[in-house]
């Protein structure tokens, strides 16, 4: 069976009889002296399959072809669980608001409890589909850590407000520009926490963080609290 040879000088392809295997001879085009490979060293280049583009491996399979992931970002169980949790939280916030003043520890507990499930839910549909998804204990630890950071950022917001605008600023009320100054570093820190926890793209990390704060702001509104600590006193 003829041996397929490619000249390393001019790249011309030609065939030689297998009895010349291992011998040297001139290229029929450029006359460069080349060594005829042995049969077991022969490199076979498959003809391109026009039905699908991409490099062909030794077995004839597309070596560089990417395959569609079978998992999906939208998970009905996750959506139902988180939606039910948020609904229960809204009802609790509504009834607590009807009772009058809500203690600080209740607000802190609510912020901490909501953090991990919201972080987990956000990750399921904001993650990069090209990367292997975190699962099991890994996703639980990352959701727990990220969610607690989000909750802690509410305390950071209040601390920065008191630190830079006076000890009574949060009770007397912040003006709009002061709130903007405080919100920027808090959102930046939350985005960084999301990025570090879940390897999200920067834009996705921002929306992951923003989702948590949007839900907690809504809960504060339902509970008849200022949407943001310090707003309106």
- What pLDDT was estimated at residue 147? 93
Residues in the chain: 233
Nearest to 190 by CA among 156, 162, 161, 215: 156
What the block records as the tokens of 121 is: 């839910």
How sure is the predictor about 108, in pLDDT bands with cuts at 50, 70 and 90? confident
- What average pLDDT does this structure show over 22-32? 83
Rounded to whole angstroms, how far apart are CA atoms 43 and 6? Answer: 9
- What pLDDT was estimated at residue 66? 47
- What pLDDT was estimated at residue 67? 42
Supply the pTM of this predicted model: 0.60
The CA distances from residue 7 to 29, 72, 95, 141, 233, in Å, are: 9, 49, 83, 58, 83
Rg, C-alpha atoms of the chain: 32
- What pLDDT was estimated at residue 59? 45
- What average pLDDT does this structure show over 135-156? 92
* pLDDT at residue 120 is higher than 80: yes
Half-sphere exposure (CA, 13 Å, Cβ side) for 161? Answer: 27
């Amino acid at each position: 069976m003829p041996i397929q040879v490619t000249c390393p000088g001019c790249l011309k392809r030609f065939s030689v009889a297998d009895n010349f295997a291992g011998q040297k001879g001139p290229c029929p085009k450029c006359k460069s002296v080349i060594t005829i490979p042995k049969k077991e060293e022969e490199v076979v280049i498959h003809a391109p399959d026009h039905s699908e583009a991409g490099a062909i491996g030794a077995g004839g399979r597309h070596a560089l072809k990417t395959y569609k992931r079978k998992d999906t970002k939208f998970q009905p169980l996750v959506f139902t669980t988180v939606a039910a949790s948020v609904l229960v939280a809204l009802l609790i916030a509504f009834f607590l608001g009807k009772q009058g003043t809500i203690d600080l520890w209740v607000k802190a507990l609510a912020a901490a409890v909501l953090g991990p499930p919201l972080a987990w839910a956000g990750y399921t549909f904001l993650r990069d589909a090209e990367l292997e998804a975190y699962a099991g204990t890994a996703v639980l630890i990352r959701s727990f850590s990220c969610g607690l950071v989000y909750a802690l950022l509410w305390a950071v917001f209040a601390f920065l407000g008191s630190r830079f605008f006076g000890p009574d600023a949060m009770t007397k009320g912040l003006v709009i520009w002061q709130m903007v100054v405080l919100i920027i570093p808090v959102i930046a820190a939350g985005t960084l926490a999301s990025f570090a926890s879940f390897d999200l793209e920067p834009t996705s990390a921002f929306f992951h963080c923003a989702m948590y704060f949007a839900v907690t702001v809504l809960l504060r509104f339902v509970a008849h609290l200022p949407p943001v600590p310090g707003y309106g006193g």
